[in-house]
Amino acid sequence: MSKAKNKSPFDLTGQTALITGGGTGLGLGMARCFVAAGANVVLVGRREAELKKACEEIGRNAYALVGDITQLKSLPILAEQAEHMGGPVSILVNNAGVHLKRDAVETSDADFASVMQTHVSGAFALTREVGKRMLKRREGCILFTASMASFIGVPKVVAYSAAKSAYLGLVRSLATEWGPHGLRVNAIAPGWIASDMLDAALSNDPARKSKILSRTPMGHFGEPDDIGWAAVYLASSAAKFVNGVVLPVDGGAVQSF
């Protein structure tokens, strides 16, 4: 049997993943899993120190690229720099985001626009630039980090919910338009994932923690690698006929609301 036939369908050897917001949290978790599956990763973010620290943790095949996706005019150059560092980008993960918790009546136009600029305008503009290159090669995988807020009503996060819901439209439209040209576009909707930020938010609020866990049928928080391995699956040949879907990775939480 040939080596090609022995190759795992989850093997990403020879692939390059560009991950925005890749220096911490879910982005870092995805980066670790992509490298473990054989890919190169280019981590994009605004804070150089965090990116370098992440690359040191991951080891070889990880590259740090300082960039701000809200600066839309800079994104064609960013896409070019990423390919110069890690090779042709075959996987794009739109993961960069900001969170705003505020009553709707206290959310200003500037607040709302800032959240939409990062999540929607920035992600689309980068997808367009990377997508141009993928279309020429007639292959590629694009992932968006959606949210439980894409499906359910969450109070006090109206801008964030609007942005994450917009991802569903982007996924469906791009999957339909680009699918015939060899590209697949999907999303992952994480649930409550263990992190320093989540721990800080819940450490002094046992009632909220208990409520969250009671709404998670599996009874515990997820881990960043749970999102990472889901991303590896969607980017791999194991998912070669999966296009236009939003995959919840939440321990069943969305189903319990």
Q: Give catalytic residues, as residue numbers.
A: 160
Quick one: how far is CA 40 from the chain centroid? 16
CA dihedral for 160, 23, 44, 142, sign (positive or negative): negative
Q: Is the CB of residue 255 less than 8 Å from the CB of residue 27?
A: no
Report how far residue 58's alpha carbon sits from residue 194's, in angstroms, rounded to the nearest whole number: 19
Residue length of the chain: 257
Q: In what order do the strands lie in the sheet with 62-66?
A: 62-66, 40-45, 16-20, 91-94, 140-145, 183-190, 246-249
Q: Which two tokens stand for residue 200?
A: 């800080």
